[in-house]
Structures are given as structure tokens and as C-alpha cells.
Structure 1
Amino acid sequence: MDLQVLRWFQAVAGGATVTGAAATAHVTQPALSRALARLEREVGTPLFTRNGRTLRLTPAGRLFADHLDQALESYDRGLRAVVELVDPDCGVVPLAFLHTLGTWLVPPLVSTFRAEHPRMRFELRQHGEATILRELLDGSVDFILTSGDPGHAQVSWQRLLIEPLWLAVPADHRLGQRKRVRLAEVADEPFIALREGYGLRTLTEQLCHQAGFAPRVTFEGEEIDTLRALVAAGLGVALLPPPYLEPSTSDIHPAPATHLRVTDVECARDLGLAWLAERPLPAASTAFRAHVLRSAPAITPPAYRSGRR
């Protein structure tokens, strides 16, 4: 079987259209379709069914895709290992992280590592917690930077930092001129939160429970920046990490949300590094893990250095 055709199959099995996969591979659509047909003949059974212009995996196709993902992951790891054996300073580190960590934690970790290893490269991905865990489990990345221990039997996790969570309220809110607040003071307010299944959503509910109430969630989202914007628009309050970049205002956008320290419950989340416990890591990733575990605890978010509340 042609390795390139297997990668084309993997792309289409992962949701890409034949047209999109062909464009990415720089081949014509008919050529890619013929290649997939040859692959089906080699396997001995149809791998796709057609629904209009969409190809869907047959049961045999799903089974083949699962095994193929593992095989290609092993092949790619082998290539990386050989490259790093020949030239230990010329490796690739695949890393996924939460969106909010891309503004302050990831840049210094990567830049200080590359100061020592200038020929190392990174493959960086930003997603929510569920997606980055899935990418770790399927071998797309070697590490994830996340909040809290994923609690998965295959995953090792180590705490790096404890990040506070502040109560975000609209600028013109009745508490907007305060610096500190008891979480119980907003028990009757509408809450804005991440969707169920996100770690911060679970933590928000737990902290509100500690403060003596169940939050009345009226808006749900998938990104913290979206939640912060909804708070600024006056649609509710939210427990969020501090804003690490100065917000901008204009005549179009509402005034930025005000962030208050919570005093009646300990509002914070653990940030840590996770990797697959049983998967051997290439040299580059092994070196990066050691660097992160050593240097991350000393990193201070910009919001604290600037003295903003």
C-alpha cells in the first residue's frame, strides 16, 4: 500500500472532503478518488459509503481507520526518533494547550527552550480541554497544557502553577467599583460559563456550591474570551482567569469587564503538563518536558506584574 494514499484515506476518514483532501495534497480530485478506490480493492471491502457529496466510513472503514491511525502514528514517531538520533538538536515538539495559556504561559516556555535548543521546532495547537485530551490520546501531540488533572488512566499529569479565578462583572455593574467580592453576593445573578464537559464549567459549579448556591447559567460558550466579551456586554457574570492582555475599547465595543478578587471561597485552578504514561518520548520532547517542569513554576502572568486588579 502507498503510504501517501493511506494519509489521503486518513484525511477523508477524519472528515475532510475529497475535494479538500485533493487540494491539500496538490493532486486532482479524480486522482485521489481513484487512489481511494484502489485502496478499497487492496483491503477487499468498501471503506466508504457515499451520501450526496459526502463520504462516510463503513464499519470496515472505521475499523481500518482506527488501526491505520495507530500505524501511522508509530511510523511518524519512528521517523522522529531516527532524525533525533542522527541530530539530537534538530527535533520537533508537538504541543497542545488551552486558548488562554497562549497569551502568557506558552510563549516564555517555548522561547526559553529554543534559546538553549535553537534548531528545535514546535507544532502548536490551541483547543478546549476535551479536544486537547483527545489529541494527546490519539498521538497527535506529545504534551498538553491544561487545567486540572485529566483523570485518565493512560495520562500522567504534573501541576505547574495555580492560577486564580476572578469574578468578571460588567463595568457598570453594582459591584463594578469594588476590588473584592464574596461569591455569595452574586448568587442571584445570571452566570455565563463554558459548556458542560469543560473543566472550568465543573469548577465554577463546585465553587458556587461552596459559596452556598447553584449558579443560574444563562449563556454557554466554548472559549473564555467569548465569555469575557459577553460579561462586558452586560449579559451576566462569570468566574474567569485574569485578563493577561490589556483590553481595548472603542465606540463600537462595550467597556471591558471588571475583574474582582473573590474572598469567601478559594477560587483558583491548577495548571499542569500531561503526557501519555506508557508512550516513549523522543529526545526533543523529553528535553522539553524537563524544561517545562523546571521553569514553569517561576513564570508570573503579566497581569500580576503590572499590578492590575
Structure 2
Amino acid sequence: MDTEALRWFQMVADGATVTEVAELEMKSQPSVSRALARLDDEVGAPLFRRSGRLLALTHAGAAFHRHLGGALHRLDDGLAAVQQIADPETGTVTLAFQPSLGTWLIPDLIGSFRSTHPRVRFDLRSKADEHVPAVGPRSAVDLELSTLRVDDADRAWRPLVREPIRLLLPSGHRLADRRSATLAEVADDPFVSLRETSVLRTQLDRICAREGVLLDIAFVADDLPTLRGYVASGLGTAIIPARWDAGAIEPSSPRVHYLELDDPEAYRNVGLSWFRPRRLLPAAELFRAHILARTESGGLPHPVAIP
């Protein structure tokens, strides 16, 4: 079948008029209409019926449309694969990541990679629900960076760095001159937490359950900068991943204090995952190798020590 005609069929099925398709594709309207008519003959049934000035899908057309999108997507993947084999330096890497990693790890990895592969492009996707794996059989994501480790034979996971979890206190807090404290010592304070879609919130709940601590969740933040802002304004205390070097992207402020959290599980492992049955395209394979090599060489950022 003529793949150009298939794409035109999909555009019309999705609501475009034949005139709009012709203008967008810089073709004559009759040539688009003839291509759609030939497609009817090849499929063996009318795919459209006229409804006023528009074309509406027939039952056969609707059935064909349900399967065509996936077929064209696989075709485009195949064309991209050929292009990347011909020139891996022009590929695109689709990378999903946990939002809290977007301020320090993602810029470090992409910046260091693009210093030697400047033409590789990135499709960056911040995860809304951190508990749902982004890589899988029906996902277009190549690689995922997160603190969620999924025990699944089809999903590979490689640890990259251990990230300490610390207490975050507002300026003037009674424990501000301490180097460390337990969660129980701030149990009577109003507490600021991320939403339940956050892996950090799950870890907070797990520590509380193990230590028998009941916290007063007074405020819920959508992200770490907002959480830090709430604490800096004196609205409560919180737990937060460590500040980092290489630009220390989690900023220090005289309005907050970081304390070590006295708990054996006061850390989270940041890892790289991918879907084993899916063969990565060359650009994504290059980036995966870069991440693992940078990890093995000790090139990733490190936590800022508490003074």
C-alpha cells in the first residue's frame, strides 16, 4: 500500500478535510481524493462516507483506523532505526525521569553526553506518577531514571548513586544547631510532604510505620522547590533528598537547615532502567553506555556534606 495514502487516510479520519490535507501536504485536492479512492480498492471496502461537507468513517473505515495508528508508528520506528544505523549521531533518545532528578542528575548526564555527541536529540518526559514504570512493552520511552526499582524480569535496573534523605528545618527551629535528629524528634511539628504519587512520600510513610511515628501532615507540595519554600516560610519541617555538588542544584539558604536523618533507611537509590525485550536504537544505546560509564568512573555529582 501507498504509505502516503495511509497517512492521508489517518489525517482525514482524525478530522481533517481533504482540502486541509492537500494544503498541508502541498498536493492537489484531486490527487488526495484519488489516493483515498485507491485505498478503498486495496482494502476491499469503502472507508469513508460523505456527511455534509465532511467525510465520516464507515464501519470498515473505523476498524481499519483502529489498527493503522500502531502500524504507522512501527513503520516510523523502523525508518528511524535505519536512519540511526546510518548515522547514530542524529538519533533521538526518549528519556523519562523522576522530577526530583531534573535539577541535578539529568542536566549532568545530558550535558556530559552532548559534549561528545552534540547532534543527538532528547525527548524528556517528567513522570507524573513516580510509582508507575515508564518503560514497558507499549511505551515509547527508551530509558528511565528514577528511585523506583521494579522487580520485573523484563525491566533491567542498574543502580547509579545512593542519595541521602535529610531533615529540612526552618530557620530558628529548636533543633537547628544539631547535626542530626530522628523523625520522632519532629513528630509534634507540622510536617510538609510531597503527594502520594511520590516515591519519597512512600518512603516517609515506611519510616514512620517502622519507628511508630505519627506525623501531622499539614501541607502537601507538588515538587521539591515548593516543599523547600514551605519549610523556609516556617510552615513546617520535611524530609528531602540531599543537596548536590556540580552546581549544588538544591540551593542552600539561611532560611532552612539540613540535618542528617538518624535512620538506617534514610537514603534512596537512583537507578537506570530499560525494557529488556526492546532493542534500543543506536543513539539510546550510546546514552545508556555513557550513563553506566560515568557511574563506574565516579563522574556523577556527590552529596554536599553537612557542615
Which interval holds the TM-score relative to the shorter structure? 0.7 to 0.9
Aligned to 1:277: 276
Which residue of structure 1 aligns with residue 82 of structure 2?
A: 82
Aligned pairs for 1:249-264 (under 5 A) are 256-264=255-263
5+ residue gaps, structure 2, are 26-49
How does 1:9-158 map onto structure 2 within 5 Å?
A: 38=55, 40-41=57-58, 43-45=60-62, 64=66, 70-130=70-130, 133-134=133-134, 138-152=138-152, 154-158=154-158
C-alpha RMSD of the superposition: 3.5
Structure 1's 9 and 214: CA in aligned 2 closer, same or farther, altered over 3 A?
A: farther
Aligned to 1:51: none
Mapping for residues 102-251 of structure 1, pairs under 5 Å: 102-130=102-130, 133-134=133-134, 138-152=138-152, 154-243=154-243, 244-245=248-249, 247=251
Unaligned runs of 5+ in 1: 13-17, 28-33, 46-59, 250-254
Deviates more, 1:136-145 or 1:169-178: 136-145
Work out the CA distance in 2 between the residues paired with 1:300 and 1:90.
25
- Counterpart AA for 1:201: R
Q: Is 1:292 matched up with 2:291?
A: yes
- Show CA shifts across 1:271-290 (max 9, x none): 00111121111111112112
Select between 144-153 and 155-164 the one with higher mean Cα deviation.
Answer: 144-153
- What is the rounded CA distance, in whole Å, between the counterparts of 2:11 and 2:136 in structure 1? 19
User: CA 1:189–1:39 in structure 2 vs 1: closer, same or farther (change >3 Å)?
Assistant: farther
Deviations 1:282-304 (A, max 9, x none): 11111211211121352453652
Q: CA deviation at 1:246?
A: 6.1
Q: Secondary structure at the match of 1:76?
A: helix
Contact 2:134–2:144 (CA<8 Å) still a contact in 1?
no
Q: Residues 301 and 276 (structure 1 numbering): CA distance in 2 closer, same or farther, change over 3 Å?
A: same
Structure 1 CA distance for aligned equivalents of residues 282 and 291 of structure 2 = 14
Aligned residue identity for 2:265: E
Stretch moving more, 268-277 or 212-221: 212-221
Question: Does the 8 Å CA contact 2:260/2:306 hold for their aligned counterparts?
Answer: no
Higher helix share: 1
Q: Looking at CA atoms only, which structure, 1 or 2, has the larger radius of gyration?
A: 2
- C-alpha separation between the residues in 2 aligned to 1:9 and 1:228? 48
Task: Quote the Cα distance in structure 2 between the aligned partners of 1:8 and 1:282.
Answer: 31
Deviations 1:144-167 (A, max 9, x none): 110130345642211111100111
Structure 1 CA distance, aligned partners of 2:267 and 2:277? 30
Asked if the contact 1:211/1:264 (under 8 Å) is kept, the reply is no
Contact 1:132 1:144 in 2 (8 A): no
Which SS does the other structure have where 1:280 is aligned? coil
One-letter amino acid matched to 1:287: L
CA drift of 1:136 comes to: 5.6
The letter for the 1-side match of 2:57 is E
Question: SS at 1:103's partner residue?
Answer: coil
Opposite residue 41 of structure 1, the aligned amino acid is T
Cα 1:294–1:178 change in 2 (3 A) is: same
One-letter code aligned to 1:178 = R
Determine the C-alpha separation between the residues in 1 that align with 2:165 and 2:84.
40
Identical residues among aligned pairs (%): 36
> Given the superposition, is the C-alpha separation of residues 43 and 152 from structure 1 closer, same or farther in structure 2, using an over 3 Å criterion?
farther
Is the 2:13–2:57 contact (alpha carbons within 8 Å) kept by the matching residues of 1?
no
SS of the residue 1:236 aligns to: coil
Cα distance change of structure 1 residues 84 and 191 upon mapping to structure 2, 3 Å threshold: same
Structure 1 residues 259 and 81, CA gap change in structure 2 (3 angstroms): same
Give me the TM-score of the superposition, normalised by structure 2.
0.73
1:223 alignment partner AA: D
Structure 1 residue 248: Cα displacement = 7.9
- What is the aligned partner in structure 1 of residue 40 from structure 2? none
CA–CA distance in structure 2, aligned partners of residues 26 and 233 of structure 1: 53
Report SS of the residue matched to 1:159.
strand
Question: TM-score, normalising length from structure 1?
Answer: 0.72
Write the letter of the residue equivalent to 2:7. Answer: L
- Using the TM superposition, name which of 179-188 and 133-142 deviates more: 133-142
Following the alignment from structure 2 to structure 1, what is the Cα–Cα distance between the partners of residues 168 and 268? Answer: 16
SS of 1:77's partner is helix
Return closer, same or farther for 1:278/1:218 CA change in 2, 3 Å cut-off. same
